[in-house]
Structure 1
Amino acid sequence: MHRPPTTEAQVAEELAVVRPALLPRYTAELPGARAAVLTRLWRALAHEPLAWVTGRVHGAHSLALRLADGRTLYGPHADPYATSAYVTGVRLDRERHVDPARLMSALAVPHGAAFAAELAGSVASLALSRAGADHSKEWPPEVPPAEDWEWEQRVTDGHPYHPACRSRPGFSVADQLAYGPEHRPVVELGTVPVPAAECLVSGDWPEELRDGGRLLVPVHPWQAGHVLKRSYDPWRPGRPLLSLRTLALPGGVHVKTALSARLTSSVRDISLYSVQAAAPLSALAAQLAARTDGLLHITRTLGAVSAHSPDLAALLRESPGAYAGPGERVLPVAALPATGLPDTPAWTAAFARLALTVGLRLLDLGVALEAHGQNLLVVLAADGTPLRLVYRDLADIRISPARLIRHGIVPPALTGRLITDDETALRRKLFGSLVAGALAGTAGSGAALGAALSAAVADLPDTADVRALREGPLPAKALTLMRLSPRIPGDQWTSLPNPLVLEPGPSVP
């Protein structure tokens, strides 16, 4: 196989070989994919602290960005919470740009060439994703998905605000069709045997994955072929979920595999730290969920193993579907738009009230969830009413020992990046993922988000965290700045206008 394709033309060339019937739909989806990625990029240029953007001039329906080299970039009013692809073109001085990759190349900023390649790949992969999509949008569906993983496979667009929302460098077209959840494949997982003495185990590792003195580590076929470069023994079929490297197994267990490829922003391996923390985090989660009056369930990590390598590790988790009652459905928040929900402002407000009640309660107790649309799931009644929440994947939460102790909870015996008493870090984690992420992506605009939050915060207790949410700017990860700052590790942040006090801007078409 040649080097994985990164441009629209290269993807089309390979698609013509591996799935020619999909080529006309792929071609038809390209303009919309360009607009979707350009809209995300324009949001970043308008709202992130980019050193080469020296000024922002707001008009009634427009925005002009003054650049450090003397040029000016013109575009529409930038709603930081809009999810529609409303930016179909911007103008750099007199030159109009409709392609986000070419725009980034024309800006000629440090590290912009590499990011432009990611944007080109994001456009092409997004068009491919949409070409093979299930386009049904209705609630309740006439034929509801029988399995929880089917909801996840309806999501085509990836991160609602990241310009590299569908960037999958290292994946060929055949790889995307074989492993991307939106293409609804069955992935044949394997196992790699490792001497037990050479493994770190957290929790209970099942007998099915033991062979005498060896542990059988589940492995994704892409990882085995491209990173481990070794053979593996067949194990079980899995259905890929939103994260692509996590798959639903027959019987309901989910397995999170190491997949050392850069997807959106991060390389998706499994650190030794994550495996070490899995069991104590699962125990803490059970205590926290018990204090939410039944409004939150947190999926248990059943077992975790690492061959002392982030490239060969796996976690087994229970399915969120275990927490659905008769007639109820559980689906990730990111999948809500693919069902036609939310369908009314009242629904959005009810969901915001539920999510904020739970998220702020846990923050007060001492845990800030990474509650974006992939990790946060909602339990829906048969008529679509949001009832409860389910949270999965504790690998990137933040824990405040001081807050836990204040509530009589013994902090887990952990150190490292998950542990902090810093109020700003805790609020950034929750507000950036839940409000600027899951709730904003569900609402779809600043006006809709502001209305939902206004209805929700009226019922919340007057705590310091609630006041910070109500009065301060809203933190969000500076996703483009991070991609343009490859030498700076960790998260970088920006401040978005608070949707609770945001003056109504021009309507977004």
Structure 2
Amino acid sequence: MERRESGPDSLVVFTTGGRRLEGPLPDPYATGDRVTELRLDGRAHRQAARLMAALDVPHGAAFAAELDDSTASLALSRAGQPREDLDDAPKAGWQWEQRVVDGHPYHPNCRSRPGFSVAEQLAYAPEHRPLVELGTVAVPAGECLLTGAWPDRLRDGDRLLIPVHPWQAEHVLKAGAGRGPSGPGFTAHPLMALRTLAPAEGGPHVKTALSTRLTSSVRDISGRSVETAAVLSDFAQVLCERLDGRLHVTRTLGAVTAHSPDLAAVLREPPDTCAGPGERVLPVAALAGTAAVRSAAWRGEFARLVLSVCLEVLDLGVALEAHGQNLLVVLSPDGNPVRLVYRDLGDIRISPARLAAHGLPVPAVSGRQITDDVTALRRKVFGSAVAGALAATLGSARALGEALAQPVSPVPTADSEALAREPIPVKALTLMRLSPGVPGDQWAELPHPAAGPRDRG
């Protein structure tokens, strides 16, 4: 794109080829707005895939097909949803997770599930509320990498029973040279992540390998993540001791791989265990439908909790990827946010220099998780907790700007000062889908939510 012009109610973008794209002036932090039409060279477009095809950009045809798939999948997700009040009697954690119908609030392919038929989506996707039958593959313990503990119920003599998602069994293990399920199975409720499930009989949540791309990435389980699972889990408990009970990180109880990302599993402590009497634990992504969020006082209290915890943890040396799926909130019996719960340590960033400054040990991990780069650390936190969890919950630039304007700690840090005045980093999710040869994340910057509408345009 070459240049932009904005009026009081519209935004015009001119491409490098001289084409004119026009639409309503956007609020980049709003999730409730519905844009029904954009105009390209004066012609109205009401379907995202057709607009992308008409723009004729590199890799646009493949992306247009993904948009069509996501649109159809989203329509399927919304079809037949019961009209329920999220503020009814407390529900089990998996029920809260299955209330999130629309998927990723900002991803253009928010419900894209390539490789899943309609029947498979109905059978496995959480918003359709199925019971999923997980199989197990028996593998000799000597042929596995295991960290943490593995329960007796998932053992058969000297063999480990690795839980397998039925989609994985049908499309990957049976299709390749791997092994199909042969051991005893169990039923489970799919959670927001689809490949992570809560056993119907209770107990640890089970993260399974699911070797397909959901939104941006292929969701397998790497050997490295199994290798570091226990180390990171133990480290997180040490970190939480510095937060005076305001944060709990769910423990990784065990992780195993048959030395293949296609055949691996992780057992994780359920977030529900963090709730006291009368309390509820729900993913932040489920908050947008609750009556409490409509209260300005509640929004302010929630924002202070999220910002104070995430900024304090960042100052200590850990950047959490605290988006609406990884971040959960504990609500008191009267509905007030009292604590946070975080799950899935696989994509955090760790700063050895910051940890050392606070007398904290550096966990024995390496690779992309370790960095002292301030930009990388802030992008991880600001792009997930602020542009993700908070923005999607609060629903507008105005509400987010008000949240960022309030003090969250008695002593400002360089990170909190940057958050108060600098543009907000976000993953450039559309660019990432249009750049198939570029590995890793790509980033853009959004105007600070305190900026006026013309500045945001």
CA separation in 1, counterparts of 2:10 and 2:170? 49
Q: Which 4+ runs in 1 deviate beyond 6 A?
A: none
In the alignment, residue 232 of structure 1 is paired with which amino acid? Answer: S
Letter in 2 for 1:490: G
The residue number in structure 2 matching 1:417 is: 368
Alignment match, 1:502: 451
Counterpart pick for 1:215 among 157, 160, 178: 160
Cα displacement string for residues 172-206 of structure 1 (whole angstroms, at most 9, x for unaligned residues): 01100000000000001111011212111111111
Point out the more displaced range, 213-222 or 457-466: 457-466
User: In the alignment, which of 436, 439, 443 is matched to residue 486 of structure 1?
Assistant: 436
Please name the residue that 1:114 is paired with. 62
**Partners in 2 of 1:366 and 1:299 — Cα distance?**
19
C-alpha separation in 2, matches of 1:204 and 1:81: 42
Q: Which blocks of at least 5 consecutive residues in structure 2 are unaligned? A: 175-179
C-alpha contact 1:295 1:387 (8 A) present in aligned 2: yes
User: Counterpart amino acid of 2:19?
Assistant: R
The one-character-per-residue Cα deviations of 1:389-447 (angstroms, maximum 9, x if unpaired) are: 00011010001111111111110111111111111101100110000000000011111
Matches within 5 A, 1:94-493: 94-139=42-87, 141=88, 143-145=89-91, 147-229=92-174, 230-249=180-199, 250-455=201-406, 457=407, 459=409, 461-493=411-443
Using structure 1 for the length normalisation, give the TM-score. 0.86
Residue type of the alignment partner of 2:394: A
Q: Look up the match of 1:18.
A: none
Instruction: Describe the superposition over 1:138-193 as per-residue Cα deviations: whole angstroms up to 9, x where unpaired.
Output: 42x1x332x11000000100011111000001000110000000000000111101
CA distance in 2, matches of 1:167, 1:124: 8
Residue by residue over 1:98-137, the C-alpha shift from the partner in whole angstroms, topping out at 9 and shown as x without a partner, is 1001111111100011110111011111111011323323
- SS for the counterpart of 1:261 is strand
Partner Cα separation in structure 1 for residue 320 and residue 213 of structure 2? 23
* Pairwise CA distance, 1:460: 5.0
Q: Number of residues paired by the alignment?
A: 451
> How far apart, in 2, do the equivalents of 1:232 and 1:116 lie?
40
Indicate conservation of the 8 Å contact 1:101/1:120, yes or no.
yes
Query: Residues 295 and 259 (structure 1 numbering): CA distance in 2 closer, same or farther, change over 3 Å?
Result: same
Aligned to 1:3: none
- Residues 85 and 127 of structure 1, relative CA distance in 2, 3 Å threshold: farther
Whole-angstrom distance in 2 between the partners of 1:476 and 1:341: 27
Of all paired residues, the percent bearing the same amino acid is: 65
The one-letter code matched in structure 2 to 1:313 is A
Q: Structure 1 residue 384: deviation in Å?
A: 1.4
AA of the residue aligned to 1:235: G
CA distance in 2, matches of 1:507, 1:365: 32
Contact 1:204–1:302 at 8 Å: present in 2 too?
A: yes
SS in structure 1 opposite 2:401?
Answer: helix
Identify which of 34, 42, 46 aligns with 1:86. Answer: 34
Which structure 1 segments of 5+ residues have no match? Answer: 1-52
Q: Is the CA contact (8 Å cut-off) linking 1:366 and 1:403 kept in structure 2?
A: yes
| 1:71 equivalent among 15, 19, 22 | 19
Contact 1:357 1:460 (C-alpha < 8 Å) held by counterparts: no
Measure, in 2, the Cα distance between the counterparts of 1:505 and 1:324: 44
More deviation, 211-220/57-66 = 211-220
Contact 1:82-1:444 at 8 Å conserved across structures: yes
C-alpha separation in 1, matches of 2:451 and 2:353: 33
Instruction: Report the Cα offset of residue 462 of structure 1.
Output: 1.1
Scaled by the length of structure 2, what TM-score is found? 0.96
> Separation in 2 of the partners of 1:460 and 1:252?
40
- How much is the aligned-residue C-alpha RMSD, in angstroms? 1.5
2:70 is paired with a residue whose SS is helix
Q: What's the CA shift string for 1:279-323, capped at 9, x where partnerless? A: 000001000111101100110000000111111110000100001
Tell me by how many angstroms 1:458 deviates: 5.3
